[in-house]
Chains A and B, each alone.
Chain A
Amino acid sequence: MAVQCKPIPALYTVYILRSTVRHASLYIGSTPHPPRRLSQHNGLVRGGAARTSRNSLRPWEMVGLVSGFPSMMAALKFEWALTNPHISVHIPSESRLAVSTRTKTNGRPRRPSKSLSSIMSNLHLLLRVPSFSRWPLKLHFFNADVFAAWQKGCQTATEQLRSSLVVFTDFEPEAPPNPGRRGPASEGNDAQDEGAEPQPWGINALPLGYEPITRYITKGQEISEFERQGNCVVCREELPPGEGLHAVCANTGCNGVGHLSCWSRHLLGAGEADNILPLQGRCPKCKEEVHWGVMMTELTLRVRGKKEVEKLLKRKRRRAAKHAA
Chain B
Amino acid sequence: MAAVASSAGMAHNDSLIIISSSPEFPSICDLLPKGPTRSAQRSGTCSNAALISEIAPKAVTPAASVWKSSHRVDKARNGGLRTLSPIAAEPVEPPVIPTVDLLHEFPTESGSRGLRAENEKPRPKPTRTRKTAQATSRNATDDPAMDALPVDVPLPRKPGRKARSGKDGAVTQTTLPKGKVTKPASKEATVKKKAELVSKHFTIRDSTPGPASNPISARIEDAPMGLEPAMVRRLDWTPPRETAPAHQNVASSTAQEHPPSAAAEAAQGRGTVFGDLHNAYGRREYISLHTSNASISANPDILGKRKLVEMIATARANEQTPEVSPMKPKAPKKKPRTITELATAAYRQPNETDLPTVTEGPKQDSLRGYLETADGQTTAGAKNSRTRATAPKRLTKPKPPKKKKEVARKPILLSPTSAMREVAKQDFVFGTASQLATEDDPVLLRALHEAMQISNQADSDPFASPTPLNSDLAIRKRPGAGLWAAGARYVDGDLLDMAALDLTNSSPLLQDYVLPSNGRSREAAAVHRSPSQRVCIDIQSDDTFDLTELPPMADPKSPSPPARPHLGQGLPQFDDSDPFGDSDDWLPISTMAPGFEPPPSNQEQHQLLQSQASSPFQAPPNAPPRPSFELYTDARLVKEVTSYGFKAVKKRTAMIALLDQCWMGQNKIALGAKTTHASMSTATKQATSPARPRGRPRKNSTTSASDATEVPRAGKRGAGKSVPAAETGTEAPQAVKRLRGRPRKDAIAPPKKAPTAKMPAPPNRALSPAKTKAPASPKRGQSPPKSAALLPATPKRRKAAAKPVVEIADSDSDDPFTSSPVSSPDRQDMFSSPEQMDLSVTEDHETSLIASPTNQQMALFGYITQAVIGAPPSKDPLDPSWHEKMLMYDPIILEDLAAWLNSGQLDRAGYDKEVSPGDVKKWCESKSVCCLWRVNLNGKERKRF
Contact = CB atoms under 8 A, between A and B. Distances in A.
Which of A70, A89, A134 neighbours the largest number of chain B CB atoms within 10 Å of its CB? A89
Contacts of A292: 887
Interface string A249-288: 0000000000111011100000000111110000000000
Interface string A96-140: 000000000000000000000000000000000011111110000
A89 B921 CA distance: 11
B877 A133 contact: no
A220 to B, nearest CB: 12
A75 to B, nearest CB: 10
Which of A3, A242, A275, A304 neighbours the largest number of chain B CB atoms within 10 Å of its CB? A3
Interface in B845-864: 846, 848-852, 861-862
A310 interface: no
Interface stretch (A194-202, A205-213, A295-303): A295-303
B888 interface: yes
A277 B927 contact: yes
Interface in A45-98: 70-74, 77, 89-94
A6 interface: yes
B929 interface: yes
A89 B896 contact: no
Contact of B927 (A3, A70, A77, A275): A275
Contact of A5 (B869, B873, B891, B896): B891
Interface in A1-48: 1, 3-6, 8
Nearest to B921: A89
A274 B869 CA distance: 9
B893 interface: yes
Interface in A170-213: none
Contact of B896 (A1, A136, A261, A299): A1
Given A77-B930, A245-B873, A3 B942 contact: yes
A93 B850 contact: yes
A93 B896 CA distance: 28
Given A73-B945, A245-B877, A260-B884, A92 B889 contact: no
B352 interface: no
B926 interface: yes
A90 B926 CA distance: 9
B616 interface: no
B873 A261 contact: yes
B928 A131 contact: yes
A1 B900 CA distance: 12
Given A71-B930, A261-B869, A8 B887 contact: no
Given A93-B851, A261-B883, A71 B889 contact: yes
A264 B930 contact: no
Contacts of A263: 887
A93 B853 CA distance: 12
B454 interface: no
Contact of B873 (A72, A77, A92, A259): A259
B887 A71 contact: no
B378 interface: no
B880 A70 contact: no
Contact of B928 (A5, A94, A133): A133
Nearest to B852: A92
B30 interface: no
A244 B877 contact: yes
A131 B884 contact: no
Given A3-B942, A73-B932, A299 B873 contact: no
A276 B927 contact: yes
Nearest to B928: A134
Contacts of A260: 873, 880, 884, 887-888
A130 B925 contact: yes
B930 A74 contact: yes
A276 B874 contact: no
Interface in B271-292: none
Which secondary structure dominates where chain A touches chain B? Answer: loop
Given A72-B945, A276-B865, A296-B889, A304 B878 contact: yes
Contacts of B925: 89-90, 130-131
A90 B925 CA distance: 7
Contacts of B850: 89, 91-93
Contacts of B886: 276-277
Contact of B888 (A77, A259, A265, A300): A300
Given A1-B896, A93-B851, A244 B874 contact: yes
A71 B931 CA distance: 11
A130 B926 contact: yes
A209 B848 CA distance: 37
Interface string A293-320: 1001001100110000000000000000
Contacts of A277: 886-887, 889, 927-929
Nearest to B883: A261
Given A92-B852, A245-B877, A276 B888 contact: no
B884 A261 contact: yes
B875 interface: yes
Contact of A245 (B846, B851, B880, B927): B880
Contacts of A4: 878
Contacts of A5: 885, 888, 890-891, 945
B944 interface: yes
B877 A6 contact: no
A243 B875 contact: yes
Interface in A134-152: 134-136
A135 B928 CA distance: 7
A259 B848 CA distance: 34
Interface string B934-945: 000000001111
A276 B887 contact: yes
B358 interface: no
B868 interface: yes
Nearest to A89: B849
A131 B925 CA distance: 4
B891 A244 contact: no
Contacts of B868: 276
A37 B848 CA distance: 34
Given A132-B928, A276-B886, A6 B878 contact: no
A7 to B, nearest CB: 9
Nearest to A131: B925
Contacts of B875: 243-244
Interface in B895-945: 896, 925-930, 932, 942-945
A274 B929 contact: no
Contacts of B862: 274
Interface in B34-54: none
A6 B849 contact: no
A3 B887 contact: no
A133 B928 CA distance: 6
Nearest to A224: B877
A45 to B, nearest CB: 23
Contacts of B849: 89-90
Contacts of B880: 245, 260
A93 to B, nearest CB: 5
B834 to A, nearest CB: 26
A135 B927 contact: no
Which 7 pairs from chain A and chain B are nearest by CB?
Answer: A89-B849, A70-B889, A134-B928, A131-B925, A276-B927, A243-B875, A303-B877
30 contacts: A1-B893, A3-B942, A4-B878, A5-B945, A70-B930, A71-B891, A72-B945, A73-B945, A74-B891, A90-B849, A90-B925, A93-B851, A94-B852, A130-B928, A131-B925, A133-B928, A134-B928, A242-B877, A245-B874, A245-B880, A260-B873, A265-B869, A276-B865, A276-B887, A276-B929, A277-B886, A277-B887, A277-B929, A278-B887, A304-B878
Given A5-B885, A92-B852, 14 more contacts: A3-B893, A3-B943, A4-B878, A71-B930, A89-B848, A244-B874, A245-B880, A260-B880, A261-B873, A276-B869, A277-B889, A277-B927, A299-B888, A303-B877
Interface of B: 846, 848-852, 861-862, 865, 868-869, 873-878, 880, 883-891, 893, 896, 925-930, 932, 942-945
